[in-house]
Chains A and B, each alone.
Chain A
Amino acid sequence: MTGRDGMVESLIYTKPVSLTERATHYCPGCTHGISHRLVAEVIDEMGRRETTIGVAPVGCSVFAYDYFNMDFAEAAHGRAPAMATGLKRVSPDRLVFTYQGDGDLASIGAAEILHAAGRGENITVIFINNAIYGMTGGQMAPTTLPGQKTTSTPSGRDIEMHGFPLKMCEILSQMDGAAYIVRRSLHDVAHIRKAKKAIRQAFEVQEQGIGFSMVELLSSCPTNWGISAQEALTWVEEHMVPAFPLGDYKVHASINAGKKG
C-alpha cells in the first residue's frame, strides 16, 4: 500500500478476527494473552472461526469467551473435556476445543481429561501449565515444582507431603486414543512460534478426525510467583523447561504419513 507521502506502508499487525475487541483482564506480563492470540491466529488461518466452538475452564481464563469471537461454553471446574465431548459428539463437523489451566485439567479434572484421551475423543485441548493456581491467589497446583513456594505450601512444595508434579503429556501419551500430544513453551519468541505450529497441527488432527489432541504450553504467572514479567519468563525457561521437557510425546502415525506425502 502506498501512503500519501509516497512511502510504502506494510501492515505488520492486526488483531485476529477470532479475537474480540475486548481488552483482557489478565495481569501485565501474563502469557494467557499470548496463548489466546496463537489459538485465534490458527483458527483464522484455517478459516474456521464460524465453525469452531470453545469451552472455557474455571481459572483465570474463565472469561475466555469474552475474548474469543466465536461460540463458547463455560464449563464447571475441570469438566471442560466432558462438556466438549458432548458438544463434539452431536456436532462432529465443528472444531471443538477446550482451554484449561493446570488446576482445572490436572487436578480436579484429571478424570475427565484422562477419559477424553482414552476415548480418542476428537477434540483439541490447549493446556496452560503455569505451575500454580492463578485465579484463587496462588495455591499449589499439581504441576507446582518441588520446593516451589505457594500460599498452600508456604515453606515450599514438600514431596513427602504433597507428592510429585504430574506430567500430563507423559501420562496422556500412554493412551491409545491420543493422537497428538506435545509440550511447548511461551518464554521467548522462537518458542512462541513453535507453539503456534503445534496448535495448528493439533487442530488439523481434529479436522482430519485422527483423535484426541493436546498442546501443553509452559506459561507464566508473574503475579502469583511474585516476580516481574521478564523474570517470570526466565523462570519458565530455567525451572519449568527442565522439569517439563519440551517435545512431541505422541504423534499418530498417520500425521507423519500425511506430512511426507
Chain B
Amino acid sequence: MQTEIIISGFGGQGALFAGQLLAYTGLDHGLHVTWFPSYGPEMRGGTAHCTVILSDDEIGSPVVKNPSAAIVMNIPSLEKYEPLVASDGVLVVNTSLIDRHATRQDIDIIEVPANEIAEELGEKRLANLVLTGALIERLGVLTIEQVGKSLGNHIPEHRRNLLESNREALQRGAEIAQRAVQPG
C-alpha cells in the first residue's frame, strides 16, 4: 500500500515541516518514505509545497499526479490540488484562509479553521499541525499518537518548549475531523 500526501501553502506556513513530520513518523514506524519539496527563492513570498509518500514497499517516483490526500493552506493551493486528489482521497482545507468550499463529491473533504484554533492555543504557527492532525485522523495510515511521538523525537531543540502545544494542535485537528461528517 502506498499513500501520497501533498501539503501546500504560502512560504512560512509550515507546509514543508508538516510534511517532514509525516515522513519522520513513517520512518519511525517502519514504512518506506520520501519527502519531496518545492524549492527555490521562496523567501520572497512564493508558494511552498511538498509531496510525502508513505509505503510498505520500496518507493519509485517521489512525485505523483494524483495524490491520495492533500492539505491546502491557501486559495491557490486549493485551486491547484482539489482537482488532482485521487477519487476517494482526502482533502483538508484551511478555512481560516480559504473562503470558499471545495466542490468535489468523490473525495472526503475536511474543513478546518486552523489559524483560529492555533490562535486559541496561543501560537499562530501551529496551524500546520492542526491541519496535519485532521488529515491523520481520516487518512488511516498513521495515528495521532505515532505522529505525536515522532514529533518528540525530531522537534528542533529551539522549539522543544512548544512540544506540548504542538501535540495539542494535532489533537485539536483530529477532533475536528472526528466531528466532521463522514461521506456515506
A135 close to chain B: CB less than 8 A: yes
Which residue of the partner chain B has the closest CB to A136? Answer: B41
A164 close to chain B: CB less than 8 A: no
Nearest Cβ on chain B to A93's Cβ, whole angstroms? 37
Cβ B43 vs Cβ A137 within 8 A: yes
In the complex the two chains form, what is the Cα distance from A194 to B73 in whole Å? 45
How many A-B residue pairs have C-beta atoms within 8 angstroms? Tell me. Answer: 14
Q: Mark A44-66, 1 if CB is under 8 A from B, else 0.
A: 00000000000000001000000
B100 close to chain A: CB less than 8 A: no
In the complex the two chains form, what is the Cα distance from A25 to B42 in whole Å? 10
Nearest Cβ on chain A to B40's Cβ, whole angstroms? 10
Interface set, chain B 30-72, CB cutoff 8 A to A: 41, 43-45
A27 close to chain B: CB less than 8 A: yes
Cβ A26 vs Cβ B43 within 8 A: no
In the complex the two chains form, what is the Cα distance from A133 to B41 in whole Å? 12
In the complex the two chains form, what is the Cα distance from A259 to B132 in whole Å? 68
A223 close to chain B: CB less than 8 A: yes
Which residue of the partner chain B has the closest CB to A138? Answer: B43
Which residue of the partner chain A has the closest CB to B42? Answer: A137
Interface set, chain B 139-170, CB cutoff 8 A to A: none
* Cβ contacts under 8 Å, A223 to chain B: 43-44
Nearest Cβ on chain B to A231's Cβ, whole angstroms? 17
In the complex the two chains form, what is the Cα distance from A91 to B150 in whole Å? 64
* Cβ contacts under 8 Å, B43 to chain A: 27, 137, 223-224
* Cβ contacts under 8 Å, A25 to chain B: 44-45
Main secondary structure of the interface of A (DSSP, over half): loop
In the complex the two chains form, what is the Cα distance from A91 to B43 in whole Å? 39
In the complex the two chains form, what is the Cα distance from A223 to B43 in whole Å? 8
* Cβ contacts under 8 Å, B41 to chain A: 60, 135, 137
Which residue of the partner chain B has the closest CB to A28? Answer: B45
Which residue of the partner chain A has the closest CB to B43? Answer: A223
Nearest Cβ on chain A to B133's Cβ, whole angstroms? 30
Nearest Cβ on chain A to B157's Cβ, whole angstroms? 15
In the complex the two chains form, what is the Cα distance from A255 to B45 in whole Å? 44
In the complex the two chains form, what is the Cα distance from A224 to B41 in whole Å? 12
Interface set, chain A 209-246, CB cutoff 8 A to B: 223-224
Nearest Cβ on chain B to A190's Cβ, whole angstroms? 29
Q: Mark A127-167, 1 if CB is under 8 A from B, else 0.
A: 00000000101000000000000000000000000000000
Q: Mark A16-29, 1 if CB is under 8 A from B, else 0.
A: 00000000011100
In the complex the two chains form, what is the Cα distance from A137 to B11 in whole Å? 14
Nearest Cβ on chain A to B45's Cβ, whole angstroms? 8
* Cβ contacts under 8 Å, B45 to chain A: 25, 27
Interface set, chain B 7-28, CB cutoff 8 A to A: none
In the complex the two chains form, what is the Cα distance from A137 to B45 in whole Å? 14
In the complex the two chains form, what is the Cα distance from A135 to B41 in whole Å? 7
* Cβ contacts under 8 Å, A26 to chain B: 44
Nearest Cβ on chain A to B116's Cβ, whole angstroms? 25
In the complex the two chains form, what is the Cα distance from A224 to B45 in whole Å? 14
In the complex the two chains form, what is the Cα distance from A207 to B44 in whole Å? 36
* Cβ contacts under 8 Å, B44 to chain A: 25-27, 60, 223
In the complex the two chains form, what is the Cα distance from A25 to B45 in whole Å? 8
Please list the residues of chain A having a beta carbon within 8 angstroms of any beta carbon in chain B: 25-27, 60, 135, 137, 223-224
14 contacts between A and B (CB under 8 A): A25-B44, A25-B45, A26-B44, A27-B43, A27-B44, A27-B45, A60-B41, A60-B44, A135-B41, A137-B41, A137-B43, A223-B43, A223-B44, A224-B43
Not counting A60-B44, A137-B41, a sample of 12 additional A-B residue pairs whose C-beta atoms are within 8 angstroms of each other reads: A25-B44, A25-B45, A26-B44, A27-B43, A27-B44, A27-B45, A60-B41, A135-B41, A137-B43, A223-B43, A223-B44, A224-B43
Closest 9 CB pairs of A and B: A25-B44, A223-B43, A27-B44, A135-B41, A27-B43, A26-B44, A137-B43, A25-B45, A137-B41
